Structure 1
Amino acid sequence: MAKRKSTSPKATTKIVASNKKAIQNKEDTFLIVGIGASAGGLEAFKTFFSELPDAPGMAFVIVQHLDPTHKSLMVDLLKKYTKMEISEVEDRTEVVKDHVYIIPPNKDMAIFNGILHLMEPSLPRGFRKPIDFFQRSLANDQGVRAVGIILSGTGTEGTMGLKDIKGHGGLTIVQDPKTTNMMVCLVML
């Protein structure tokens, strides 16, 4: 059974920052935080990003369950809650710190050598697991510099990705489904 400690989004920011200090050996090294959420994750994103400093020295990649036929408004909605630059990912985007990246609708995304790659989904709608897909690539690419966060939603989407991140020495955090608090997974799920 996993040991868990409830924390607020503000405390979660401190945990992520302390993990950042523990693994940084060079100035150009930074954490890449993969955040997964259901389509209804806007409130959780607002809370999370409003608690971050203006320049946290990390990059954030948001993977949401989106309707593949609708344009995402997340870039415009989140600009009110952070001073970091926010953009929808284009294929072969290099990840830089103090930036928020958002997956576009109807795409799968992976990271290789710090570059975000978009691809056409290989599975039909309803069978896709875009959060697991991205976070597993994040674990393989970044190792101890990977952070996996799951906000909102139900079901098991994101579980395999978090296991991979934890298995590569990264940090994993999940939102308690009964509250708006975060829970830090201290051992393997």
Structure 2
Amino acid sequence: MRVLIVDDSPVLRMLLTSVLEGAGFEVREADGGEQALRVLQSYRPDIVTMDVHMPGMDGYEATARILEKYALPVVVLTASANAYAAATAMHALEAGALAVLEKPQGPWAANFEERIEELLSTLRSMAQVKIVRRPRAPRPTTASLPPGRPESSAQPLLVAIAASAGGPAALKELLSRLAPQQPWPLLLAQHIAAGFVASFRDWLASICPLAVAIAENGQLLRPGVLYLAPDDSQLGVGRELRVHLQRRNGELHCPSADHLFNSVAQRLGSQAIGVQLSGMGRDGAEGLAEMYRRGALTIVQEPASAVIDAMPQAAIGLQAARQVLPPEGIAALLNSIALRGTSRSTVPKGE
């Protein structure tokens, strides 16, 4: 497997090159975004690792430029302790990077082996993902509603959203178009590396009109608030529309889309909306199918609009989707249901 390392630190490049070559990878290096673009003119790697805080072209701009010209998976490496770098990493995910990981510090660090194993595993899996070029042309700000059944007959009390790799790009398109007065709480299960949830919350708050919060076990879910799972916690719904968190117990995905959707299906039945966005694998397909069986409105991102279409395709393959829409269409549908006031009289008004 061929890897292009983009980082302005020669020490970090040397460390990563040694580790990756020791694992059997072919490695090229670039000391910044500009050099990376020059290298890519004659060398085509299977995957790119991208630093975020670099002189000149930062990791966000370099990622966007690479995905404009080449269909290459990009994994962001950053130091979680650096607030600026973590924020830039969120923007790189928005541009289409597939994952963000904490940089390995060196063999002396207590968690070095864990970080390296996480890096190698991520590179091997993400290198297999088929990526589409992402031209940065402006997209329409409005979308017409689709034909057919727009919603279930019951009044929605909650919106559950799931996403994985490529999800932040879809989330930006969807959430930035939502009307600020959503008459229901929204719960989001987004696969993201531990330690980045706070930065992810701040980024979401900067792109959408909703309040964004990291969920706390037992708290009452309030309309117009987007809730995220804390690190190492599965996010679900308990009695009286309260947060129900469970500690991770060996599951492959945490937070898990299937866990969220199944919890919502069991607790709310037809009085919920489920949304499956971009991602690799099948997480969420079974849970969304359960929501469908219980009468909920289930919406799947149109595969052609997803950075990675595996999760949407898996849900469609299980016939779990009542609607298949691009992110801006999902936003238009949610806004339409909200404006019709179908849930205003039944949603709890807060604590």
TM over 0.5: yes
The DSSP-based 3-state class of the residue aligned with 2:269 is helix
The DSSP-based 3-state class of the residue aligned with 2:276 is strand
The DSSP-based 3-state class of the residue aligned with 1:108 is strand
1:87-166 matches, cutoff 5 A:
87-113=213-239, 114-124=241-251, 126=252, 130-166=256-292
1:1-189 matches, cutoff 5 A:
11=143, 19=151, 22-24=153-155, 30-113=156-239, 114-124=241-251, 126=252, 130-180=256-306, 185-186=321-322
Which one-letter code corresponds to 2:154 in the other structure? I
* C-alpha deviation, 1:134, in angstroms: 1.1
**Counterparts of 2:228 and 2:281 in 1: how far apart (Å)?**
22
* C-alpha deviation, 1:53, in angstroms: 0.8
State the Cα deviation string for residues 15-72 of structure 1 (Å, max 9, x = none). Answer: 9xx638x423xxxxx4311100015411111110111111121221000112235444
**Counterparts of 2:146 and 2:213 in 1: how far apart (Å)?**
25
State the TM-score, normalized to the length of structure 2: 0.44
* C-alpha deviation, 1:10, in angstroms: 5.4
The DSSP-based 3-state class of the residue aligned with 1:157 is coil
CA 98–107 in structure 1, closer or farther in 2 if over 3 Å, else same: same
Identity %: 25
Which one-letter code corresponds to 1:117 in the other structure? H
Would the aligned equivalents of 2:190 and 2:255 in 1 still touch at CA under 8 Å?
no
**Counterparts of 2:243 and 2:306 in 1: how far apart (Å)?**
29
Higher helix share: 2
State the TM-score, normalized to the length of structure 1: 0.77
**Counterparts of 1:36 and 1:62 in 2: how far apart (Å)?**
6
Between the two proteins, the alignment pairs up a number of residues equal to 171
Looking at both structures, which has the greater relative contact order when contacts are Cα pairs under 8 Å and sequence separation is at least 6?
A: 1
Would the aligned equivalents of 2:165 and 2:280 in 1 still touch at CA under 8 Å?
no
The DSSP-based 3-state class of the residue aligned with 1:154 is coil
Q: Extract unaligned runs of 5+ from structure 1.
A: 1-7, 25-29
**Which of the two has higher C-alpha Rg?**
2
**Counterparts of 1:141 and 1:50 in 2: how far apart (Å)?**
28
Q: Extract unaligned runs of 5+ from structure 2.
A: 1-139, 324-351
Would the aligned equivalents of 1:31 and 1:59 in 2 still touch at CA under 8 Å?
yes
Q: RMSD value over aligned CA atoms?
A: 3.0
**Counterparts of 1:12 and 1:160 in 2: how far apart (Å)?**
29
- Worse overlay, 36-45 or 160-169: 36-45
